[in-house]
Amino acid sequence: MTDEENETAEGEDETSPQEPVTLFNWKRFGYMFLAILTLMVFIDQELRTALGEAIGRPIFAIAGFDGQYPLITLIVAGTIMIVFSTIVRDLMVDWVEMAEIQKKTSAFNKERMEAKMANKTSKVKKLEKLQPQISQMQMKTMKPQFKSMILTMIVFITVFSAIWTFLEGLPNHTYAVPWALNANLLTYLGPIAIFPQWILVYILISAPVGQAIRLGLQMVTYKKRLHEIEEAGVA
């Protein structure tokens, strides 16, 4: 960050109007309610099972295959979950703004580190005064991600419960997976594993699918913002 940008940031901070204070915020109440509900679903097994059956019923009606192809069922369920969570996150996160804030933060940290190494005390003090603004920008990028996590976590927990119940009801639990020819999906892999092997299958499915969808949505967002900037420049 240059001295001119620092002065501009300080000027904007001094002249920015204060937001009106509201006694009750419906959005905040909604997120708090969802957070509490997610915690209840995580703790209460009966509630988790009931919600899992309700969410899993349409999924397994479409891709249950009467339990004959559980790995395909797992792939379909995992893909649905990752598509849902990725779209929700994309709707709530401004990727362009996040990239700009990350760029500014990186430039600020680099400049402060160089000032410390060069023993420029006055510049270090000046940059330290801007630290609260940088922290506020970073917090701005974290809020939408936290909100999207609240919205998707309850779906993840309930669908995971539905998949677990579905797999437990199958007559056969042993299938060929990338790391074994005869792996029991309900058993744990290794002495220090903390989750059953079917979750590893889910991770192998969700990681590349989620990454591809996220990159695709980000490209669409960047192109849309670039088009808006070009139209504004022409006007």
* 45-99 pLDDT tens trace: 777 777 777 777 888 888 788 878 888 888 888 788 888 888 888 787 777 778 7
For the record, the structure tokens of 190 come out as: 């290794």
Distance between CA atoms of residues 216 and 229, nearest Å: 20
- Phi, psi torsion values for 181, nearest 5 degrees: -80, -30
CA-nearest of 47, 27, 151, 134 to 90 is 151
What are the Cα distances from residue 97, in Å, to 196, 200, 223? Answer: 39, 34, 14
Question: What is the band of 139 on the pLDDT scale with cuts at 50, 70, 90?
Answer: confident
- For the chain, which residues make up each domain, given as ranges? 30-234
For the record, the structure tokens of 41 come out as: 């679903």
Distance between CA atoms of residues 28 and 202, nearest Å: 32
* 6-20 pLDDT tens trace: 444 444 444 444 545
> Helix, strand or coil for residue 177?
strand
| pLDDT, averaged across the chain | 76
Structure-model confidence comparison of residues 34 and 18, the more confident one = 34
With contact defined as beta carbons under 8 Å apart, do 60 and 73 qualify? yes
DSSP codes, 197-223:
HHHHHHHHHHHHHHHHHHHHHHHHHHH
Distance between CA atoms of residues 60 and 118, nearest Å: 63
* 187-212 pLDDT tens trace: 877 665 677 888 888 888 777 877 88
Whether 213 has a pLDDT exceeding 50, the answer reads: yes
* 144-169 pLDDT tens trace: 777 777 778 777 877 888 888 888 88
CA-nearest of 210, 199, 185 to 86 is 210
- The predicted model gives 118-133 an average pLDDT of 85
CA-nearest of 169, 155, 176 to 80 is 155
